[in-house]
Amino acid sequence: MKCPNCSNEMKEGQLICEACGNEIRIVPDFEPEIENSITETLSTLAALQDDETTGSDKDKENNKKEKEIEKKKIEQSRKMGTMIGIIISAVLIVALFSYMLYSYHVGSVSYQMDRAREYAAHGEYEQAIACLNIAYNKDDTDPQILFLKADYYYLLFDNDSALQELKQIIDKGTYSYETVEEAYDKMVAIYSQEDRYEDINELLLNCKEDTIVNMFQSYLAKEPEFSYVEGNYDEVIPLKLSSNTSGTIYYTSDGSIPDENSKVYTAPLFLESGDYTISAVFVNDYGIKSEVVSKFYHISLETPDAPEVSLYSGEYTEPMLVSVTADPGCDIYYTTDGTEPTKDSVPYTGPIPMPLGVTHFKFVSISEEGVAGDVTMRTYILKLEGAVSTDDAVDELIDRLVETGYLEDKSGNVPQQNVTYSYQFSSVVSIDDEVYFTINEYFDDGTGILSRTDKVFLVQVYTKAVARLGYGENGEFVAHIL
């Protein structure tokens, strides 16, 4: 502790300060003023205590009333606070519910689609697409969202994006047939507008709906179809090539790849004995080219024998009939101008009168399957010693017809008819041991076109006697002299 006089630090238990010598008192001395003050204070307290004793009943009553009033105030404040809390809670709940309803409405598919249409009505297609993206993320089962997006991209001249949206509809696999058909229709329209016909062709080739493919058949270029499957055949086959729509089929028969410079298919290809590799490609009216398709055919047919001719080649001095026979079921065709006989040549129907002068015959047999055999050739020289010329024979016939009144004049005019007849040498025949030139009759009705009549006239090659050709009871030739 410290000395109260000089503040010197004193040791514990020391009562006299070593520095100043001051004695430290345990009990302080009271001065008279302090003592008087204490006495006065005590008197005052005693008086106050007496006053408190006399007024305690009133104070107690007043304090009780004040406490009751305070209690009521506290109770009222508590009730008021509770009410305010309830009101605040209700307001918060209503606000939260309203916010949730608003958020649900704003985030709904219908709301976003309505907003998209509103934006689109003002030409704000990008904002419209943004709304549709939100709607599609919430519901990808509504194809109308994708249709609207495609329409708005189209209006923004972004056709590729529009096509992607429509392709989503096709690839989704869950939309109705009508929806998918509409998507194809819009895609084809966009491709067609841009002349992207190859893209249309690829789109349709990948389409699994035949009815949709048929709707746009004109844009499609499928591989040509062959009427016969490839393989081995023992008959001639008329191979037909067909396409799915209008266009041109190009083909080759030597195994090479066909293109626009190859042969154009117009009629069935008749495949006879031999091996064939037929390749074909189709190009439609839009220039779309199909894949090339090739098929191999081995045709093994029985070849008919060459026709047998009754007369050998040589020089003859009297007219003869040339008879020809072939295998059963075969037809015979012939030429006299040196060309090879085919199905398009003159058909053999019966014995042929040997022509006057030098004639080169070529005969061929063609089976029912269209197989042609070897060609038989004959050369005949028919000379009639002392015979008149064929021109003289024709003049003699006309003179005789004028004499009989059949013709009006040598120009071939016919009495009371607006037609003209003309006559041409045909062949030489032998009838009842007489040799005749056969002369056919033709008429001209003024158009310059000659038509053969059913009349055949005869002129005797030595005497120039004129007759008309007829037929006997057994079908033999008969000469009716005029």
By the 10 Å C-beta count (0-12 exposed, 13-18 middle, 19+ buried), 304 is classed as buried
Residue 80's pLDDT band (cuts 50, 70, 90): confident
Choice between 255 and 229, residue whose per-residue pLDDT is larger: 229
Backbone φ and ψ for 466, nearest 5 degrees, come out as -100, 135
Return mean pLDDT, the chain. Answer: 85
List helix spans (H) across 143-196. 143-155, 159-172, 177-193
Is the pLDDT score of 39 beyond 70?
no
Whether 239 contacts 277, CB under 8 Å: no
Helices (H) and strands (E) in the chain, counts: 9, 23
Query: pLDDT tens digit string along 213-245?
Result: 888 888 888 899 999 999 999 888 899 999 988
The three-class DSSP label of residue 345 is coil
Give the CA count within 13 Å in the CB-facing half-sphere of 218: 4
Percent of the chain with pLDDT over 90: 55
Is the pLDDT score of 463 beyond 50?
yes
Residue 29's pLDDT band (cuts 50, 70, 90): very low
Q: What is the mean pLDDT of residues 10-38?
A: 54
By the 10 Å C-beta count (0-12 exposed, 13-18 middle, 19+ buried), 219 is classed as buried
- Cα separation, 345 vs 340, in Å, equals 9
Is the pLDDT score of 480 beyond 80?
yes
Percent of the chain with pLDDT over 70: 85
Is the pLDDT score of 201 beyond 50?
yes
Whether 280 contacts 293, CB under 8 Å: yes
Residue 75's pLDDT band (cuts 50, 70, 90): confident
pLDDT of residue 78: 76
Residue 106's pLDDT band (cuts 50, 70, 90): low
Residue 83's pLDDT band (cuts 50, 70, 90): confident
Nearest to 285 by CA among 241, 242, 248: 248
DSSP 258-320: P-TTSEEP-S-EEE-SEEEEEEEEEEETT--B---EEEEEEE--PPPPPPEESS-SEEESS--
Query: pLDDT tens digit string along 342-388?
Result: 999 999 999 998 988 999 999 999 988 778 899 999 999 999 988 99
Length of the chain counted residue by residue = 482
pLDDT of residue 17: 58
Q: How far is CA 380 from CA 63, 120, 336, in A?
A: 168, 94, 11
Whether 117 contacts 124, CB under 8 Å: no
Q: Which DSSP helix (H) or strand (E) runs through 391? A: helix 390-403
Q: What is the dihedral of CA 217, 221, 223, 225, to 10 degrees?
A: 40
- Cα separation, 127 vs 119, in Å, equals 6
Is the pLDDT score of 105 beyond 50?
no
pLDDT of residue 44: 56
> 68-82, 280-294, 410-424: which range is least confident on average?
68-82
List helix spans (H) across 249-371. none
The β-bridge relationship of strands 237-239 and 263-264 is: unpaired
Q: Which residues contact 260 (CB under 8 A, 6 or more apart)?
A: 250, 283
pLDDT of residue 369: 77
Is the pLDDT score of 196 beyond 50?
yes
